[in-house]
Amino acid sequence: MSRQNVSSALLAATMLLVVLALATLIPNGGARMISDLGYHTLCPFAPYSTGSLLLLAGLAWVVRQHVDRLTD
């Protein structure tokens, strides 16, 4: 896999993880459990799942920056 492909895949992973992190905070009236935020969300584990996904997105971003800085 070329360095450009790896960088593009890591960028896509970062964007996907950020979108999923935001999705965990969306209110959902049909949910059975109340999250620790105090309201019904799509993910009952919010804000912990949100933080975990943002941490993984940050890690993917840091690795992408490292891959972009590598020289031949």
Residue 72's pLDDT is what?
A: 64
What does each of the 72 residues of the chain score in pLDDT, given as a tens digit? 888 999 999 999 999 999 999 999 999 888 788 888 889 888 888 899 999 999 999 999 999 999 999 876
Rounded to two decimals, what is the model's pTM?
A: 0.88
Write the secondary structure of the chain as one string of H (helix), E (strand) and C (coil): CCHHHHHHHHHHHHHHHHHHHHHCCCECCCCCCCCCCCCCECCCCCCHHHHHHHHHHHHHHHHHHHHHHCCC
